[in-house]
Structure 1
Amino acid sequence: MYGVVLAAGRGTRMRPLTDRRPKPLLPVGDRPLLARVLDAAAAVVDAFVVVTGYRGADIREAIGDSYRGRPVHFVEQADPQGTAHAVGQAAPVVDERFVVLNGDVLVDPSLPRALADAGGTAVAATEVADPRSYGVVSTAPDGTLAGIVEKPADPPTSLANVGCYAFEPDVFEYIDRTPVSDRGEYEITTTLARLLDDGRPVSVASYDGTWLDVGRPWELLTATETVLDTLEETRLEGTVEPNVQVHGPVVVEPGARLRSGTYVDGPAVIRSGADVGPNAYVRGATVVGPDARVGNAVEVKNTVVMRDASVGHQSYVGDSVLGRGVNFGAGTNVANLRHDDASVRLTVKDTRVDTGRRKLGAIVGDGAKTGINTSINAGVRLGVGERTAPGAVVSRDRMNE
């Protein structure tokens, strides 16, 4: 069985974090999101096909030609035209039954297993409290798929389409005959409807595990929280100087250093080459990335600090994402809470969106730098390479368009 993983999208809702990397390569814990998808499917597939597009060379370099002993084939969706179009790119490689997973969704291994065990064509579905924002799955009396309706005002069931499938190779013939939808795309749900019209049975694989679409910046924090919540033990494999306090679960990878006076309250992961302290405070679901620096008297809480980023001394960063090579000058402070206690709003594709998070700090693109004593308001984005002056107060997004 093949595992076809869709990883071609540009990820514009995730800006600025995707301005220099494809969304599936965003780090979640100790590995990229795409690697977690491959991990979830590895037990049920013999080979992977990864559909790339935006910055596909980065994905090929990161994953390589094999993953966990399974060969990896790469096909390109140069001009994305919908999910059916994306799946169709795998046709030159795939010659047996296959599962389809999204490269930017956090799921458990039980999902591809359920699809594999269903046999034939299958769609994964999960119970949700309010299905009106999803594709809603209807079933026939025998439990097979009757249809999928997108975001209905009056949902016929509480089953949401997870967006993961199993197909036989002859689905490519149906994809070739799939018409353009009203949205101007070739959609796999339309292909499924064609299969049903021809009397082809489609199983519904029930799934009740983790299902997290990592499409917007705060959802990367949620994914990190979800993954770190599964840590069960403390592993101190790096250098831990005297007078460091660690309250698990905390992972300190080989080559990382916790300097004297540092206090780490997990769950937290300190990646290889990271340097923390002295006298730093790391807490919450925090990942300090490879070769990153958290300096003297710095507090970092519930934050993703990516590779080579640096937070200068006497700074506070909470509920934030710092991209690769970010440099926060001394005394930089990030607000993560509105004064009215309402949930924080963030701009996504020019629209202000309620994140549903009471606490959310800054989303900072690769290579951005702040001057000393910069203050950044809750829900602010700093674009790739942005700069602030010493003492600046940043209350609105600064993005490179």
Structure 2
Amino acid sequence: MLAGGKGSRLRPFTYSGAKQLLPIGNTPVLFFALRQIVEADIVDVAIVVGDTADQVMAAAGDGSAFGARFTYLRQPAPLGIAHALGLARDFAAGEPVLLYLGDNMLRGGIRDFVERFRQSDAAGAVIVRRVPNPSAFGVAVFEGGRLVRVVEKPAEPPSDLAVVGIYAFRPVVFDVVAAQRPSARGELEIADTINGLLERGLRVDVTHTDAEWVDTGKMEDTLAANRIVLDDMEPSIAPDAVLRDCRIDGRAVIERGAIVERSEIVGPVAVGVGARIRDSRVGPYVSVGAGAEIVASEVSNAIVMERARVERCMGLSASMIGRDARVAGLPAGAAVTLGDHSAVELP
């Protein structure tokens, strides 16, 4: 499991936190990947961490909350996905490995993919999905129905089949990584690892999927992942949640201690522990973090993180509000990206 990297495309949020801990549906994106791994009957998990190691370790713990055992491996610098994989050689101890990028989310899980690999004799396995913008990803090249090459972020993509950030490998992969040289950007590329296996005459199997897949590396993708999670959630209202003079249309999760007063909730919406919503219309597709407040506002398609406050904002949408941030008095139809501990207040 990869939980390092700088997350430069998700600034300002990654100035103060790990990109893999950004909340979607009020749950860190990393946790969805970890749950899928455990659901695939994998319980020994190495998490590769970088500068935000302390935050990731504090959030994920020792694995017991997931029914797993976590080992943490430190990557000294962002030296590439393949470099991070190579750090796990001793951890793997000669066994096959699953590599999952912690800021990716694949709807429906990976159990079938993992089981197919367990039953095969392939050296590796990847998942591919058709995308409208293949030049932003590693792209699969096929000949006679077999994978023959992966091209990383090509200017002229040979196909529209992007390689999803979830891979499986036999132990030979560590020999390939050890022989790799850094790319022009100074990293060991996972595309080169896959190509190295193929150049040795080894087979890399491919699973085609049409399941929704999101690489949450940008704000708009994080919001898309939030929508997917909210669509899939089971509605629930905690017994001690307080609902006064409010209306709830559609699915909503309202957690313990939350207070909703004189407001309309248009699902899907998730309201975290101790959050407060007053005199507002919230939804659809809004996650309100623990302890956050929305007052006299209309908010849709947004992530409002822990202890943030939104006040007097009508038509706020396509927005991410960081932890302990404050937004007030924005004009109708505003969209805002505001980092942790920041404030934008208009009269």
Per the normalisation by structure 1, the TM-score is 0.79
Task: Answer yes or no: is 1:333 the counterpart of 2:335.
Answer: no
Residue 263 of structure 1 corresponds to 264
Residue 91 of structure 2 corresponds to 93
Q: Identify the match of residue 52 of structure 1 among 49, 53, 76.
A: 49
Taking only the aligned residue pairs, the percentage that are identical comes to 32
Task: Answer yes or no: is 1:34 the counterpart of 2:38.
Answer: no
Task: Answer yes or no: is 1:324 the counterpart of 2:326.
Answer: no
Deviation of 1:155 (Å): 4.0
Structure 2 counterpart of 1:48, which letter? V
Residue 286 of structure 2 corresponds to 286
Distance 1:10 1:153 in 2: 24
8 Å CA contact 1:237–1:252 kept in 2: the answer is: no
Aligned-residue RMSD, C-alpha? 2.0
Distance 1:275 1:130 in 2: 39
Distance 2:103 2:274 in 1: 27
Distance 1:129 1:79, change over 3 A: closer
Write out per-residue CA displacement over residues 285-331 of structure 1, whole angstroms, 9 at most, x where no aligned residue.
Answer: 11111011122x2222222111111123x3333321110101234xx
Alignment of 1:203-218 (within 5 A): 203-218=205-220
Q: Match of 1:208, SS?
A: coil
Residue 138 of structure 1 corresponds to 141
8 Å CA contact 1:324–1:366 kept in 2: the answer is: yes
Deviation of 1:183 (Å): 2.8
8 Å CA contact 2:96–2:170 kept in 1: the answer is: yes
Residue 164 of structure 2 corresponds to 162
Distance 2:160 2:77 in 1: 34
Task: Kindly indicate whether structure 1 or structure 2 has the higher relative contact order, using CA contacts under 8 Å at least 6 residues apart.
Answer: 2
Residue 220 of structure 1 corresponds to 222
Distance 1:153 1:290, change over 3 A: closer
Distance 1:326 1:153 in 2: 39
| Structure with greater proportional helix content | 2
Q: Identify the match of residue 127 of structure 2 among 100, 106, 124.
A: 124
Structure 1 counterpart of 2:285, which letter? A
Q: Which runs of 5+ in 1 are unaligned?
A: 338-360, 375-390, 392-401
Structure 2 counterpart of 1:146, which letter? V
Deviation of 1:231 (Å): 3.2
8 Å CA contact 1:251–1:268 kept in 2: the answer is: yes
Distance 1:198 1:319 in 2: 47
Structure 2 counterpart of 1:307, which letter? E
Distance 1:185 1:241 in 2: 52
Q: Match of 1:149, SS?
A: strand
Residue 387 of structure 1 corresponds to none
Distance 2:34 2:320 in 1: 24
Q: Identify the match of residue 64 of structure 1 among 57, 61, 65.
A: 61
8 Å CA contact 1:114–1:206 kept in 2: the answer is: no
Distance 1:144 1:301 in 2: 44
Q: Match of 2:126, SS?
A: strand
Task: Answer yes or no: is 1:73 the counterpart of 2:71.
Answer: yes
Structure 2 counterpart of 1:113, which letter? D
Deviation of 1:236 (Å): 4.9
Distance 1:221 1:91, change over 3 A: same
Structure 2 counterpart of 1:328, which letter? V
Write out per-residue CA displacement over residues 66-92 of structure 1, whole angstroms, 9 at most, x where no aligned residue.
Answer: 142111111011112111111111112
Distance 1:124 1:38 in 2: 18
